[in-house]
Structure 1
């Protein structure tokens, strides 16, 4: 499941990541831009993915990413998925604060991280 978090309308990075992930064989459910935490929760419940990707370019996206991780926890489904966050404002510190499993500012590196996760599931 992939989407740009609430308050952020940017989709170029998300779309590049989606295209690269699909080319690598991932089935991607792109929920679009400016998505509230509930949209991520609902889609995770619907499709039961291995990975949730959240994108954001604006600094305010970091708070939305944390709210989304918190919503996944509240729904009791956080532990079923790996979470990767991507975009210009993400850092290791932000990743820890948000509660994500990984972060990237590079779409190709993000796909490699996801490939390692899926490989480890086998």
Structure 2
């Protein structure tokens, strides 16, 4: 298991002002579901180096759906084997193979959410 890409993304996200809860590598679906219930994040990030990780990403997103949490979060996936087709297959909102680009996507989501909040006030 490799966590280099995850760690790079985490460090860049933290430097950009995001609070990051790093669950580590090779975590079960339940770990994500419980953490989302606990902290109510805006964004969930999943990373994989090998194609084996892609089904685990799908299972995690499906687990969030089953728990009634999927509509509460945006999901971004990253890693070498991801692309638009994979993104659609696993049910993520966005994908990237570049940590800096991933942080920009997340920043855009936060700005969108802030804008939507300001419109409803």
TM-score category, normalised to shorter length = over 0.9
Task: State the Cα distance separating 1:18 from its structure 2 match.
Answer: 0.3
Q: Per-residue CA shift, 1:42-78, capped at 9, x if unaligned? A: 1000100000000110101000000000000000000
Q: Per-residue CA shift, 1:72-91, capped at 9, x if unaligned? A: 00000000000000000001
* TM-score normalized by the length of structure 1: 0.92
- Is residue 39 of structure 1 aligned with residue 39 of structure 2? no
Gaps of 5+ in 1: 1-8
Equivalent position of 1:3 in the other structure = none
Equivalent position of 1:108 in the other structure = 100
Equivalent position of 2:16 in the other structure = 24
SS state of the match for residue 40, structure 1?
helix
Deviating above 4 A after TM superposition, structure 1's stretches of 4 or more consecutive aligned residues are none
* TM-score normalized by the length of structure 2: 0.93
Equivalent position of 1:73 in the other structure = 65
Which structure is higher in helix share? Answer: 2
Task: State the Cα distance separating 1:36 from its structure 2 match.
Answer: 1.0
Q: Per-residue CA shift, 1:84-119, capped at 9, x if unaligned? A: 000000010000010000000000000000000000
TM-align CA RMSD = 0.4
- Is residue 91 of structure 1 aligned with residue 59 of structure 2? no
Structure 1 or 2, whichever has the larger Rg, is 2
